[in-house]
Amino acid sequence: MKFSLSWLKQYLETDATIEEIAAKLNAIGLEVEGVEDPAEKLAGFRVARVLTAARHPDADKLQVLTVDTGEGEPLQVVCGAPNARAGLVGVLGLPGATVPANGLVLRKSAIRGVESNGMMCSTRELELGEDHDGIIELPQDAPVGTPFAQYHGADPVIEVAITPNRPDCMGVNGIARDLAAAGLGAFKPIEPLDLPGTFPCPVAIRIEDAQGCPAFYGRVIRGVKNGPSPQWLQDRLKSAGQRPISALVDATNYLMLVSGRPAHAYDLAKLSGAVVARRARDGETVVALNEKTYTLDAEMTVIADEAGVHDIAGIMGGAHSGCGDDTTDVLLEIAYFDPERIARTGRKLNLTSDARSRFERGIDPAFLDTGLEHLTKLIQTLCGGEASEVVRVGAPPSTPKIVHFAPALVARLGGVDVPLAEQERILASLGFSVVASEENGEPRWAVTVPGWRPDIDGAPDIVEEVVRIHGLDKVESVALPRADGVARPTATPAQTLERRVRRAAAARGLQEAVTWSFLPEAEAQAFAEGPLWVLANPISEDMKAMRPSLLPGLLMAAKRNLDRGAAALRLFEVGRRYLRGAGGASDEKLTLGLVLAGEKTRRGWATGKASAFDAFDAKAEVLALLAEAGAPVDKLQVMGEAGPQFHPGQSATLRLGPKTVLARFGMLHPQVARQFDVDGAVAMAEIHLDAIPGRRGAASFARISYAPPALQAVTRDFAFLVPAGLPSGDLVRAVQGADKANIVGARLFDDFRGQGVPEGHKSLALEVTLQPVDKSYKDEDLKAISAKVTAAAAKIGAVLRG
């Protein structure tokens, strides 16, 4: 919501400065997003008179002007405007001034060899209008030498962010009411008028959809003369970010911006028969004022006549019946529409407007007559004309909302003591009425809520109104009570696990990314394991489906970075993926996603050519992070079926048993890479953190610290001949389980295939770590353990090399 200071002061009698007003707006919960002072933009521009105008010696379309600035000697200015002439009073931009329209900083310069000391400006260059055919022409009595901002009367503009629960502040009048209640001046409300019509309304008005449109008031004004609005009205609309169109249209917009009450004017000559508020018919279409065609359905309310639809009720009028320069008779419409119906229609049509933003928040149902009278008066003032009698069909909701309120709640809920008289003053100044009584010796109030505050539902809302006007800064900061002793940890096991793996990933040189939980539907479908959760009313098409995996978001982030020249990317994210189970049940899974893209190593004299990431890099990261998460990595099995998003033959899963998948890793499938438009080799992985089981008798596999053993460990190397297709992990697990009392670790350190190794076989060398407990090993102990290792390996087809 934007408005100028002078506009605000039409409804608020105050001497407060713009800075004081902005501070008070923030204090009462109306956040000021910005204050724009045109005087700052017009600094360096002043009223000046052209003394002489002569043709430029080297340019036919340029003139050399001598300009009186009111100070010192006249300045020489080169100008190309066709209306530049001796005696003209205009606006001169001096050297050092910045042209508002394009940011050009003026300076003394030579134009075609002739010195120029500034620039004579047009309306568009100063952002005061669209005229660019010539320089500004001011009245002859304009004071030469006066700063133009002072002469023009630059009016500061305030922009306020209005939350959805404050429809009363969608008009300047409502904001003035809040400021007056906060003590910043005297409120000047919009008073009712009495403008009786002089002839019966010639248009029949009916309501056939009483649920969507409970009330429809209208009247005709005949004999109007449409045209441009006066400058004061155009300035008001521009300050609010509205484009002036014509007097008739501007009048309806002005009423909306003042009171928060939308209205509409139809060209009577373009209507046929009765005007009806009804349900649209399925498939019915209308061309709106934005020149787009919308297809309607039977759940939408429209304003129509015998020829068809003219208005998407409460959202946007139709192009066919809009007012133009040739309009002579108008039908004014002020109606009350159901807020929920307006919101649903707007979402279905993906159509937003100033009217919709007000109707769906809720407008004052009691303002129909007053609004229609003020709109009538404004149109007659601007365009003339004779008004008919008012036709009133239906009735808006009229039952007042009464909230039973205990004033003591202000101290209990708001944390500040506000005297009863001050509470009553605040509520009265905001438009509430109070009837006081007592119950068990305690004051009890029946507070009647004004029609412009549909957001007030109960006593806590009344407390909020009192406290925000009294002053949130007066609420004392009180620390929460704390029990004696050391505070107990509050993080859940899942939160602890999430923090641990996040820190471990960062420590390993991975860069954390935070991506959206919503994805484009096509990208989400590429990683879906079943039906997607798709939003019916997404923010945009790029945020339509809830992510079934963290990988598509990371791939999109990787592409953006690679496109901007990133050489290497090691991205990870910890978050939740959203799966749609049987019967529409929602299932959230805590997951760590990982993407490695670009160059693993840069080219150099020691490394040679640059190398890319491969599936083993992703596997190494996964194993390290699983170990940090406390998973029993020595018990994991490497199996296939990583998913169609992974390159077959270059991907796998890590499982704890055949069914429990803890992670999947590998290279991105080329077809998926093309879909995401990612070039080069990409390794990726996904760790299912919530699939990691807990220790027996413990909440998780979290690492347990322990003192190192007293006796030194012993290592022994074994080399086995195994079939070439045997996974090395199978051999490692077999050896590690050969003697669980003594073998504490086994790792592969060599994989050889070549001379001396039979065809169809490979040589795998393992380092086995033995840990004595009570006494050091003797030779016979080591021989016995070695025999167990050899026997365990033989069970899976491994033969000890000679």
118/75 Cα distance (integer angstroms): 9
Element (H, E) at 681: none
- The identity of residue 156, as a single letter, is P
Q: Please enumerate in sequence order all residues whose Cβ is within 8 A of that of 484, keeping only pairs 6 or more positions apart, or say none.
A: none
Q: For residue 683, how far is the Cα from the chain centroid?
A: 32
Q: Is 464 annotated as a binding residue?
A: yes
Q: Helix (H, G, I), strand (E, B), or coil: what is residue 583?
A: helix
- DSSP letters for 209-258: -TTT-SEEEEEEEES----PPPHHHHHHHHHTTPPP--HHHHHHHHHHHH
CB 170 within 8 A of CB 1: yes
Q: With DSSP H G I counted as helix, E B as strand and the rest as coil, what are the percentages for the chain, rounded to 5?
A: 25, 30, 45
CB 210 within 8 A of CB 336: no
Q: Where are the beta strands (DSSP E) in 82-227?
A: 89-93, 109-111, 114-116, 119-120, 157-161, 186-187, 205-207, 215-222
CB 552 within 8 A of CB 668: no
Q: Are strands 293-295 and 285-287 parallel, antiparallel or unpaired?
A: antiparallel
Q: Helix (H, G, I), strand (E, B), or coil: what is residue 424?
A: helix
CA 414-417-418 angle, 5° bins? 100
765/218 Cα distance (integer angstroms): 93
Tokens 């999430």, located at residue: 498
Q: Is 461 annotated as a binding residue?
A: yes
Q: Dihedral sign, CA of 781, 785, 788, 790?
A: negative
CB 75 within 8 A of CB 67: yes
CB 210 within 8 A of CB 216: no
> How is residue 326 annotated by DSSP?
T
Q: Which residues of 746-758 are buried (b: 16+ CB within 10 A; e: fewer)?
A: beeeeeeeeeeee
Separation in Å, CA 2 to CA 137, 161, 238, 257, 402? 29, 9, 9, 9, 32
Joined tokens for residue 498: 């999430």
Element (H, E) at 27: helix 18-27
Q: Is 250 annotated as a binding residue?
A: no
633 torsion bin: left (phi>0), alpha (psi -120 to 50), beta (else): alpha
Q: Is 137 annotated as a binding residue?
A: no
551/669 Cα distance (integer angstroms): 13
Summarize the annotated binding site as residue ranges.
455, 461, 464-465
Summarize the annotated binding site for Mg(2+) as residue ranges.
455, 461, 464-465
